[in-house]
Amino acid sequence: MTTTSLPGFRDFYPADLALRAHIFRTWRAVASRYGFVEYDGPPLESLDLYTRKSGEEIVGQLYGFTDQGGREVALRPEMTPTFARMVAARAGGLPKPIKWFSVPQLFRYERPQKGRLREHFQLNLDIVGETSVASDVEVVAAAVDMLREFGLGAADFVARYSDRGLISAVLQEMGIPEASLPAAFAALDKADRESEEWVIERLVDARIEPDSARRVLDLTGMDLGDLSRQFGDVAAVGECLVRLNRFREQIEAAGLEDFVELDLRLVRGLAYYTGLVFEIWDRKGKFRAICGGGRYDDLLEAVGGPALPALGFGMGDVVLGELLRDRDLVPEGGHELDDFVIHVSDEQLPAALHIVHSLRARGRRVGFDYRSRSVGRQFKVANQAGAARVIVVGPEEVERDECMVRSMDTGEEVKMGLAELLAGSD
């Protein structure tokens, strides 16, 4: 029998699952503080849901197959197409803005590597039907507050943001044709990892003149002041600058200025972003991006959904889990049991069961020994299970409707009537 999972897939033993549950719980808690509600879709969808958005090239990374009914299907590689489909199905009836989040497991056939497996869980959080700067701030703030909730601080991570709309407007002002913009963004996205020559080559490949390509590359060295001086009186650029100022103002009002930095070199590779883009990185640059997202005002309509503006982000569990482990922010397991009920011999098992189930009915986590072993052995088991309290039931106790209660922290023992025990366990 093979005892391993498929390459790139994880088994979650209880300790692994405890960390995963901690991550999910924290995501859900913060999302709900921001007024987002949870949804989910199926992990298996029609293949064309994905090829429509990402083209045929995505097929190489998909777990796709033909099902027994002859349908072309695929395990979901991302959540946005399902999200778009579900919003489209009820777009008219849903009050705007739609504020939804989900925690899907996603699947890609890629070479497994550090921080990247063939499956991962990814928080997806989106707002639909809203173009305001306040909604841009809301989405970035939610991502930042999630990381803070894990115990990470401004020394641990930073959210870098930029505005795809601003860079588009500047590129168009430089005479770059709109059709070349996606390729230009893809090239700029790699500018800090690749050589200047490489970037310029990619830009020229995208039918941008060598002279213009050089000027595009120069953009990566500019700050907001430079852009404002050179392009500030272009209307489209001016509007973006106003928006970015308001964004900054609101981030400060929210008290998040230590966590959020403008970075005009950030453009993100994906073609569909139209405004705000952002990524969260650990400050030491030791890990892949923790989170990425932005505004995609045209995407829902482009994939056949409703014509509604939207923005959101994805945050995966793999890199985040590595970071939490690295910073020693994985919570301790803690006590698995509140009480352990010891029965001195087999005859007291029914009396012990009565106590066990009465305590469980009060919401307490209670264990006992299935085999009626020695009292010493049962104390050991209670100890291993981390029980905070041990309740001993022997023949005398049964006769008097009593039990002996021992605190495992202090070692203190008291006799107690059953009614008293239960009344004190609510």
Please give the residues from 330 up to 389 whose contact with its own copies meets the rule CB under 8 A: 336-337, 349-351, 353-354, 356-358, 360-361, 363-368, 370-372, 384-385
188-227 residues near its own copies, rule: CB under 8 A: none
φ/ψ region of 260 (left if φ > 0, alpha if ψ in -120 to 50, else beta) reads beta
- Per the CB < 8 A criterion, the answer to whether 140 and 311 are in contact is no
Q: Binding residue for its own copies (CB under 8 A) from 75, 171, 237, 241?
A: 75
Separation between Cα atoms, residue 23 and residue 320, nearest integer Å = 8
Tokens coding 310: 């939207």
Q: Smaller CB distance to its own copies: residue 170 or 280?
A: 280
CB of residue 131 to its own copies, shortest distance in Å: 9
Site string for its own copies, 137-176 (x = CB under 8 A): xx--x---x-------------------------------
- Per the CB < 8 A criterion, the answer to whether 290 and 320 are in contact is yes
Query: DSSP strand E in 78-192: where?
Result: 98-102, 105-107, 119-128, 157-163
Separation between Cα atoms, residue 154 and residue 148, nearest integer Å = 8
Q: Smaller CB distance to its own copies: residue 65 or 198?
A: 65
Which residue has 């120069």 as its token pair?
A: 218
Q: Which stretch binds its own copies (CB under 8 A): 101-109, 170-178, 187-195, 312-320?
A: 101-109
Q: Which residues contact 236 (CB under 8 A, 6 or more apart)?
A: 165, 168, 169, 172, 173
Q: Smaller CB distance to its own copies: residue 255 or 411?
A: 255
Q: Smaller CB distance to its own copies: residue 69 or 225?
A: 69
Tokens coding 116: 């990247």
CB of residue 232 to its own copies, shortest distance in Å: 23
- Per the CB < 8 A criterion, the answer to whether 255 and 299 are in contact is no
CB of residue 236 to its own copies, shortest distance in Å: 22
Q: Binding residue for its own copies (CB under 8 A) from 55, 153, 205, 253?
A: 253
Q: Is 22 in the site for its own copies (CB under 8 A)?
A: no
Q: Binding residue for its own copies (CB under 8 A) from 55, 60, 177, 395?
A: 60
